[in-house]
Chains A and B, each alone.
Chain A
Amino acid sequence: MTEFAFRPREWWQKLVAPIDPALLAMLALLIVYALLVLTSASPERLGNQAINLAAALVAMRLAAQVPPQRLMHLAVPLYVAGVLLLVAVALFGDVTKGARRWLNLGFMRAQPSELMKIAMPLMLAWYFQKHEAMLRLRDWAVAVLILLLPVALIARQPDLGTAVLVFAAGFFVIFLAGLSWKVLAAMLVAGLASLPLAWTLLHDYQRQRILTLLDPEADPLGKGFHIIQSTIAVGSGGLLGKGWGNGTQTHLEFIPERHTDFIFAVLSEEFGLLGASFLLLLYALVIGRGLMIAGNAPTLFSRLLAGSITLIFFTYAFVNMGMVSGILPVVGVPLPFVSYGGTALVTLFLGVGILMSIHRNRMLVQK
């Protein structure tokens, strides 16, 4: 037991030690930008979002402190728990808006699919680390199974957005682990070939969303409304935008979910192509930094994990912006670090924390 002494400098150093200043600085820019947009889209939610951000930063700092070796131990239990919870959701979950996504734990409602976004890359990274020495085709097959089981459970809820993200998280690990291009090509062909089958497995509303993407004007006031209005918002922003707080589509309530999934429409309308490009740039910087961390990571596990987490950020961003600008079907994927909402923010910053931990521990092993 050391004697208590007031040493703020030391505490601060301890506090910031695990944090990667470069990554945090880029994210800080992104967050400020996001709050600016949220202030226009839904100023009354600013306070809540600040609380969400605080919680997310705490989660990041905690994750940043956990060394990758410790994370490896967590991989299997988290994955197994996640799968079990998904099964429980399928059996006893609460139905909200026609989808069975939530598990009522008595004191709180949990969405186990969210957990999978972290558990999936952890599990697969652990798996490949374990089989580092020898990777036979059978091992790849097992990896694919590990990937598809929870994805199928989530897709059945149905929650296509999360399923896509979880699938992407796992797929990136498998890709980065070096799955041969031949097999990848074969999988792509198989995937394309099974599209008609997949079509029949989709729910009606999911099919409708795809059809709507192809021809939104077929039902301009109904199913096409979201996509038409958000494309109008983006397009009418022009080169420089209508100005902060001046978006007519935004402020006259033509954009549904303007503070969450469709916040990019607000950004594009008010800040134009310039603002949208600036956002792309910020994402590119964050992703670049993440890929750099992955490239420098000492173990296969941490490399795969860091690479996958970084590419997940990309997936979020691409799917969301693609959806809002009308080139991808509407799925419930938020704009990462920007959309209002605590759950996604905490998950994303957990990922950031893990990246930071991996970055900090790059030297320890090498030495």
Chain B
Amino acid sequence: MRPAEFKNPEQELVRFQRRLAVAGGFVLLAFFLLFARFFWLQVVRYEHFQTRAEDNRISLVPVVPNRGVILDRNGVVLASNYSAYTLEITPNKVADLEAVINELAGIVDIQPKDRKRFRKLLEESKNFESLPIRTRLSDEEVARFIARRFRFPGVEIKARLFRQYPQGELASHALGYIGRVNDRDLGTIERNNAEDNYRGTEHFGKTGLEQKYEFELHGQTGFEQVEVEAGGRAVRVLERTPPLPGNNLLLTLDARLQQVVEKAFGKRRGALVAIEPSTGGILALVSMPGYDPNLFVDGIGSQDWEALNTSEDKPMVNRALNGAYPPGSTFKPFMALAALETGKRTPQQAISDPGFFTFGGHTFRDDKPGGHGIVDMYKSIVHSCDTYYYVLANDMGIDAISNFMRQLGFGQRTGIDIEGESEGVLPSQEWKKKRFRKPEQQKWYAGETVSIGIGQGYNAYTPIQLAQATAAIANNGVMYRPHLVKYIENINTGERTPIEPQPLRSLPFKQANLDVIRQALVGVNTEGTGARAFAGAEYVSGGKTGTAQVYSLKGGKYEHGKVQERLRDHALFIAYAPAEQPTIALAVLVENGGFGAQSAAPIARQVLDYWLLGKLPRDAAPEFGEEVEGD
């Protein structure tokens, strides 16, 4: 063993200094290693990191374009935009949302409904999106928040454009509304390869024209090259590609006419569709009651939503396109035309009406006890004789009827530029086979054909189908696809693209046959069931009343039962004018309105008075007029 004691201090010091030198060498080596690393990062890989730092720094921020506005045919604004301040929270930048919202409530007014809406948005959205806790801040609220902004990281004020429907409920079912983009909308955007253009877009058309013309109205999203912080907050704008505003829609619809109709309906439920027969342009599309589309713009409150959806009046249903009603006696002129075209009747052939028709042991009654006496085609329409059509329907058979009616568009979607239109029901043997499961129900019974003749039974058509068929008669069999948009206006170029009338088909009806029917329809309004409503009119019009049974309907879709008022018949009226060169054709339906002559015809009169003479009704139509001849 080597003794360790009594080391030489000099030797000791040398040994220590040797160790120090080793340590010093190690330090130099380590520093050289660091230098090599810095050299690698800062010289060899400089471009790579330089690019990444730039990518960090600069972010492309989408600038959402102004949504196109919607104007009626005379330039009345139906949908527009306004700018307002919103207070927004980015959830993933806030640790305790509830606490922050409570604190914010001390600065700006935050109602329980705001919190509810925010929670709903939170569930539907991704965490990194900023979501509004309050919209439409007052200037004072904005100032108060700005002064305390530093206390609220992740909360900011944004100026946003909001959709506004200045006419409120007017034409709400035609316009539809926009709401926040949801998963279904994202699917639509993807299918249209529009993801890029929808970066930053928060609203999407949900129904009506807003939905159908979403991609026209949206516009071209612009971009800002923005220098951003790690947190994503923009520091300054480096470059800007401005957005191009969306296209404007100029409608065929006449807002004032629409207003006349909606006023005429008052509190009654129903629908009216008025069409320009020579183009298919929709002049009025009414479904009553309506709703205020403004409620949906920044997320509808649950209370409002609840109210709209549970209301017995079903304000969210677009009755004009989705309500399927038996047409009642308004079906008769089309039946008569079918009889002429198929050679089953001549105009002169008459029946002696005893007031009823018996078939297979069942008696079908006419409205008029004792009957209408000797009835030819003209009289059958003018006075709305049921027996005539019981017999006629029985003679024609169901398939001949349905084949004819199909040409006029009954039981098919019209193709109007609004999504979700219903088909209705055009009864036929084939339809029944498909509709029912049990073999005994699948069979068509000849007795069922009888009531088809007077527009009852399985018949169920939407008001727009009825209006379209009326327009077809008024336009001598030339049918156009109904449409609401007349022009699409590109405000960037000022270019207006007209929506050309789309001819659906030219029905090969004999002019003589059409004339018979049109004469009879004029007769209705001069000496028949519509005469009272059109007394003193300064123009010649054609029309037909109708009453559709609600009670004892077999296949009808609209069975509100229970309340007595809701068991009343639906009142219908179809009309066109002027008789020679019609510029308007319409169908109107008043739910549970009783006789068509009583409640539906006066509305049609107001429409025609306004459209042809510019005459405004003195006051809204009374709910029930005096006694008139029934149909």
Report if B56 contacts A (CB, 8 A): yes
Q: How far is the CB of B365 from chain A (nearest CB, A)?
A: 79
A273 nearest CB neighbor, chain B only: B42
Mark each residue of chain B from 3 to 29: 1 if its CB lies under 8 Å from any CB of chain A, else 0: 011110000100111011001100110
Residue of chain B at shortest CB distance from A252: B229
Contact assessment for B23 and A234 in the assembled complex, using a CB-CB cutoff below 8 Å: no
A235 and B42 contact, CB distance less than 8 A: yes
Cβ contact within 8 Å between A321 and B57? no
A42 touches B (CB below 8 Å): no
Is the CB of B436 closer than 8 A to any CB of chain A? no
- B48 near A: Cβ within 8 Å? yes
Complex contacts, A206 vs chain B, CB 8 Å: none
The reply to whether B34 and A284 contact each other, CB–CB distance below 8 Å, is no
Partner of A237, one of B19, B31, B42, B48: B42
Chain A residues, Cβ within 8 Å of B43? 238-239, 273
**Are A234 and B38 touching (Cβ within 8 A)?**
yes
CB within 8 Å of B: which of A152-185? 172, 175-176, 178
Interface positions of B from 34 to 49, Cβ below 8 Å from A:
34-35, 37-39, 41-43, 45-46, 48-49
Please tell me if the beta carbons of B50 and A235 are within 8 angstroms of each other in the complex.
Answer: yes
- Contacts A178-B15, A235-B48, A314-B30 given; does A277 touch B230 at CB 8 Å: no
Contact B56 A254 (CB under 8 A): yes
A residues 237-261 touching B (CB-CB < 8 Å)? 237-239, 248-249, 252-254
Top 6 closest A-B pairs, CB basis? A235-B49, A236-B53, A235-B41, A236-B49, A273-B42, A254-B230
Within 8 Å by CB of B45, from A176, A229, A235, A277, lies A235
Q: What would be 12 A-B contacts, judged by CB atoms less than 8 Å apart?
A: A235-B45, A253-B230, A254-B229, A272-B42, A283-B31, A294-B20, A295-B20, A307-B16, A318-B31, A318-B34, A322-B37, A327-B33
Is B49 within 8 A of A232, CB to CB? yes
B19 nearest CB neighbor, chain A only:
A176
User: Given A268-B42, A273-B38: A178 and B28 within 8 A (CB)?
Assistant: no
Contacts A133-B4, A239-B43 given: A291-B23 contact, CB under 8 Å?
Answer: yes
Any B CB within 8 A of the CB of A288: yes
Report chain B residues within 8 Å CB of A195. Answer: none
Residues of A contacting B507 in the complex (Cβ-Cβ under 8 angstroms): none
> Which residues from chain A contact B45 at a C-beta distance below 8 Å?
235
> Given A236-B52, A291-B20, A307-B20, are A276 and B42 neighbors across the interface (CB < 8 Å)?
yes
Q: State how many angstroms separate the Cβ of A367 from the closest Cβ of chain B.
A: 15
Nearest to B228 among chain A residues (CB) is A252
Q: A252 contacts B57, CB within 8 Å? A: yes
Name A175's closest neighbour in chain B (CB-CB). B19
Which residues 295-317 in A have Cβ within 8 Å of B in the complex? 295, 300, 303, 307, 311, 314
Interface centre among A134, A135, A232, A235 (most CB of B within 10 A): A235
Q: Return chain B residues, CB-CB under 8 Å to A133.
A: 4-7
Inside 8 A of A272's CB, which chain B residues have their CB?
42
Please tell me if the beta carbons of A178 and B230 are within 8 angstroms of each other in the complex: no
A280 and B34 in contact, given A172-B23, A233-B53, A252-B56 (Cβ under 8 angstroms): yes
Per a CB cutoff under 8 Å, which of A176, A238, A311 touches B16? A176
Cβ A248 vs Cβ B57 within 8 A: yes
Q: Is A231 an interface residue (CB 8 A)?
A: yes
Cross-interface CB contact of A314 among B4, B16, B27, cutoff 8 Å:
B27
Q: Out of B4, B17, B34, B42, which one reaches A238, CB within 8 Å?
A: B42
- How far, in whole Å, are A133 and B228 apart by their CA atoms in the complex? 66
B residues 131-146 touching A (CB-CB < 8 Å)? none
Q: Once the chains bind, are A287 and B42 in contact (CB under 8 Å)?
A: no
- Considering only residues 214-255 of chain B, those with a C-beta below 8 Å from chain A are 227-231, 235
Contacts of A138 in B (CB 8 A): none
Asked whether A307 lies within 8 Å of B4 as measured between CB atoms, the reply is no
Q: Which A residues lie within 8 Å of B15 (CB)?
A: 178
Best-surrounded residue of A135, A172, A327 (most CB of chain B within 10 A): A327
Which residues from chain A sit less than 8 Å from chain B, CB to CB? 132-136, 172, 175-176, 178, 229, 231-239, 248-249, 252-254, 268, 272-273, 276-277, 280, 283-284, 287-288, 291, 294-295, 300, 303, 307, 311, 314, 318, 321-322, 325-327
Cα separation A60 to B338 with both chains bound (whole Å): 113
Residues from chain B with Cβ under 8 Å of A254 in the complex: 56, 229-230
CB within 8 A of A176: which of B20, B31, B57? Answer: B20
Shortest CB distance B233–A (Å): 9
Bound Cα distance A94, B166 (Å): 62
A239 to B227, CA, bound (A): 24
A325 lies within 8 A of B230 (CB):
no
Residues on the B chain within 8 Å of A284, using CB: 27-28, 31
Mask: chain B, 190-234; 1 = CB below 8 Å from A; 0 = not: 000000000000000000000000000000000000011111000
Name which of A234, A237, A252 has the most chain B CB atoms within 10 A of its CB.
A252
Closest to A135 in B: B4
User: Contact between B12 and A300 (Cβ–Cβ < 8 Å)?
Assistant: yes
- Min Cβ gap A11→B in Å is 36
CA distance A249 to B50 in the complex (A): 10
CA distance A231 to B37 in the complex (A): 10
Q: Are A277 and B50 closer than 8 Å at their CB atoms?
A: no
Q: How far apart sit A235 and B42, CA to CA, in the bound complex (Å)?
A: 4
Q: Which chain B residues lie closer than 8 Å to A295 at the CB level?
A: 16-17, 20
CB distance from A193 to the nearest CB of B (A): 23
Residues of B contacting A248 with CB < 8 Å?
Answer: 53-54, 56-57, 227
The residue in chain A whose Cβ has the minimal distance to the Cβ of B3 is A134
Counting chain A CB atoms within 10 Å of each CB, the highest count among B7, B12, B27, B52 belongs to B27
Q: How far is the CA of A283 from the CA of B5 in the complex (A)?
A: 38
Q: Are A134 and B42 in contact (CB under 8 A)?
A: no
Contact A249 B53 (CB under 8 A): yes
**Which residue, B34, B42, B43, has most C-beta atoms of chain A within 10 A?**
B42
Q: In the assembled complex, how far is the CB of residue A10 from the closest CB belonging to chain B, in whole angstroms?
A: 36
Task: Please judge, given known A-B contacts A235-B50, A236-B50, whether A325 and B41 are in contact too, CB under 8 Å.
Answer: yes
B38's nearest neighbour on chain A, judged by CB, is A276
CB-CB under 8 A from A232, the residues of chain B are: 49, 52-53, 56
Q: Which residue of B lies closest to A308 (CB)?
A: B23
| A268-B38 contact given A235-B50, A284-B28, CB 8 Å threshold | yes
Give the distance in Å from the alpha carbon of A254 to the alpha carbon of B231 in the complex: 8
Measured between C-beta atoms, what is the minimum distance from A246 to chain B in Å? Answer: 11
- Contact, CB under 8 Å: A280 / B20: no
- Are A325 and B38 in touch, CB under 8 angstroms? yes
Closest to A240 in B: B42
| A249 nearest in chain B by CB position | B53
Q: Tell whether A178 pairs with B19 under 8 Å between CB atoms, given A231-B49, A232-B52, A252-B57.
A: yes
Question: Complex: how many Å from CA A117 to CA B39?
Answer: 32
Complex contact A311–B53 (CB within 8 A): no
- A9 → chain B closest CB, angstroms: 38
Query: Which residue of the partner chain B has the closest CB to A292?
Result: B20
Contacts of A294 in B (CB 8 A): 20
Give the nearest-CB partner of B37 in chain A. A325
Point out the residue from A136, A287, A311 that lies within 8 Å of B4, measured CB to CB.
A136
* Option from B28, B39, B50 in Cβ contact (under 8 Å) with A273: B39
Chain A residues near B229 (CB, 8 Å)? 252-254
The docked-state distance in angstroms from the alpha carbon of A254 to that of B233 is 12
Given contacts A300-B12, A307-B23, contact A325 B46 (CB under 8 A): no
Closest Cβ of chain B to A329, distance in Å, is 15
Within the complex, the shortest CB–CB distance from B67 to chain A, in Å, comes to 33
Contacts of A135 in B (CB 8 A): 4
With a cutoff of 8 Å between Cβ atoms, the chain A residues found around residue B46 in the complex are 235-236, 238-239
Distance of A327 Cα from B34 Cα, bound (Å) = 9
Contacts of A318 in B (CB 8 A): 30-31, 34
Q: Which residues of A contact B235 (CB under 8 A)?
A: 252
Q: Report Cα–Cα, A325/B34, bound state, in Å.
A: 8
A284 to B25, CA, bound (A): 11
B227 with A252: CB separation less than 8 A: yes
A44 to chain B, nearest CB (A): 13
How far, in angstroms, from A287 to B17 measured CA to CA in the complex? 15
Q: How far is the CB of A86 from chain B (nearest CB, A)?
A: 27
Is the Cβ of A288 less than 8 Å from the Cβ of B24?
Answer: yes
CB of A181, distance to nearest CB on chain B (Å): 10
